[in-house]
């Protein structure tokens, strides 16, 4: 249980930490949590399911409080807990890092996300799912741009409606099982029509959080008005909950609807790849470029999930890791540009590479990873997903493959216009120590996964073999 409770402990500890030590305490707390997680990873066998908390108690509503992890659950925990300190480090020199409320909300969010990945009960999963919304909403409300209130209202309504869909699906299952434990939910046999509506309720919640076209309209505005740290949390971590939920919960609970839902969801995913890619090319705001790029990338991941075979699902988790690393790097670059230049318009930038060569280099590394060039973390995962989509149908694979073209265009355009061309500024501060350290850590992860993706594939593979057999 220390894996779950450690973030909550450090969040409460911040209340007595002097303000001048708050930002350091936040990073130290996340590093301790990472150390605890590494301890679990070292002793874990990918073929096992480890119980973290399993009391012999069931409430009258069927809640069991069961918690544990298999390979994919622990993978999501280690990815999440490895990225929290990087996010705090990258924002170490910003005023937000000195705020107790910000650091406390980050740790509470870490607590809720860990609980979600460990949940082995449907209602418990839902509770942690809802709990993650509170800290991120408050971070955006307290530290976002002045025009944030209307946009945050839209964000809240979207996510609330999606969560209601998931809750209704769980309630519909309540009459078919004695409790909401993961094993009991998987044991339910549904007729195809019922399974369709059950899966639809889950998908609504997950599609909004990812977001999948056409449920994406809250995302670009929210990412834009959020502080850089908030955008990183949303794009690199929170959407992973929905991708994980599709694999772990949505399809295994209602596999009878997979064949009926497969074409629809894959179609929405690849429409998002093309639509968001085209929109990203037309944007002038660098934060919005990367926001639409995120929609395009996760559209491909979503399509890969619905193929629901071991190879495609393994590639999905590799791409989840890649997207998380790249999203932090790209939004860090966008935040640096906005902070130094007081603008996000790429047409007002230019010539920065000569003034700030360190920034130009590390931004380029992240940009190459975003384009999935060989020896970066995105190459193998994207290749395997596209390969399986071609196997599903060559037309689907061909359309999905356009991500390679669109990704290169909008990424290189954003990089070239901001870094090269005629200088439009007289000075630009190069990377600070914490920004350099964050880029370096992200790049190490990008290169390691690019050279040796098997470290992820072997870790999640046994769990995915079991899950893919459920249908």
Give me 114's structure tokens.
């860990």
Geometric angle at alpha carbon 70, from 66 and 72, rounded to 5°: 120
- pLDDT recorded at residue 144: 80
To the question of pTM greater than 0.75 for the whole model, the response is yes
Give me 94's structure tokens.
């910003």
| Residue 421 to residue 195: CA distance in whole angstroms | 55
| Residue 345 to residue 418: CA distance in whole angstroms | 9
Backbone torsions φ then ψ of 374, nearest 5 degrees: -55, 145
- Cα–Cα distances (Å) from 92 to 19, 41, 218, in that order, read 14, 28, 28
| Residue 257 to residue 253: CA distance in whole angstroms | 10
Q: Nearest to residue 105, comparing CAs of 76, 138, 127?
A: 138
- pLDDT recorded at residue 468: 78
10-residue stretch averages of pLDDT, the chain, 471 residues long: 87 86 91 93 83 70 81 94 95 88 93 94 93 92 83 88 92 85 88 91 93 89 90 92 94 91 93 93 92 92 92 93 94 91 86 89 92 87 91 90 90 90 77 93 94 91 84 59
| Residue 302 to residue 264: CA distance in whole angstroms | 11
Q: What is the DSSP string of 134-170?
A: HHHHHHHHHHS-TTHHHHHHHHHHHHHHHHHHHHHHH
Are 25 and 100 within 8 A, CB to CB?
no
């Amino acid at each position: 249980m220390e894996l779950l409770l450690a973030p909550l402990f450090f969040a409460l500890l911040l209340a007595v930490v002097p303000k001048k030590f708050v930002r350091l305490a936040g990073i130290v707390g996340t590093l301790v949590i990472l150390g605890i997680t590494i301890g679990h990873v070292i002793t874990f066998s990918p073929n096992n399911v480890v119980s973290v908390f399993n009391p012999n108690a069931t409430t009258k509503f069927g809640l069991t409080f069961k918690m544990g992890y298999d390979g994919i659950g622990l993978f999501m925990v280690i990815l999440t807990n490895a990225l929290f300190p990087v996010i705090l480090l990258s924002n170490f020199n910003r005023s937000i890092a000195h705020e107790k409320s910000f650091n406390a909300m980050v740790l509470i969010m870490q607590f809720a996300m860990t609980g979600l990945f460990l949940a082995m009960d449907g209602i418990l999963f839902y509770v942690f799912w809802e709990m993650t919304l509170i800290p991120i909403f408050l971070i955006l409300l307290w530290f976002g741009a002045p025009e944030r209130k209307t946009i945050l209202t839209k964000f809240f309504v979207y996510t609330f409606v999606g969560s209601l869909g998931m809750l209704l699906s769980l309630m519909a299952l309540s009459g078919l099982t004695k409790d909401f434990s993961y094993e009991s939910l998987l044991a339910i046999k549904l007729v195809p029509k019922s399974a369709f509506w059950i899966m639809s309720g889950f998908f609504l919640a997950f599609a909004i959080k990812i977001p999948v076209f056409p449920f994406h309209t809250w995302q670009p505005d929210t990412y834009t008005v959020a502080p850089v740290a908030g955008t990183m949390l949303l794009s690199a971590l929170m959407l992973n909950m929905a991708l994980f939920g599709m694999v772990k919960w949505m399809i295994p609970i209602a596999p009878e609807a997979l064949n009926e839902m497969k074409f629809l969801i894959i179609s929405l995913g690849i429409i998002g790849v093309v639509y968001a890619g085209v929109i990203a090319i037309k944007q002038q705001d660098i934060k919005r470029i990367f926001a639409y790029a995120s929609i395009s990338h996760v559209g491909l991941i979503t399509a890969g999930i619905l193929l629901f075979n071991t190879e495609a699902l393994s590639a999905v988790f590799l791409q989840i890791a890649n997207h998380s690393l790249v999203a932090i790097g790209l939004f860090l670059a966008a935040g640096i540009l906005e902070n130094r230049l007081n603008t996000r318009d790429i047409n007002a930038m230019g010539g920065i590479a000569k003034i700030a060569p360190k920034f130009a280099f590390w931004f380029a590394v992240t940009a190459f990873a975003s384009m999935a060039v060989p020896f970066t973390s995105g190459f193998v995962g994207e290749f395997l997903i596209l390969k399986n989509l071609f196997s599903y149908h060559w037309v689907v694979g061909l359309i999905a493959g356009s991500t390679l073209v669109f990704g290169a265009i909008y990424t290189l355009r954003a990089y070239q216009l901001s870094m090269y061309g005629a200088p439009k500024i007289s000075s630009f501060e190069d990377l600070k120590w914490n920004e350099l350290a964050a880029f370096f850590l992200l790049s190490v992860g990008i290169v390691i996964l690019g050279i040796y993706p098997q470290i992820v594939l072997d870790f999640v593979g046994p769990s995915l073999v079991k899950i893919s057999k459920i249908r």
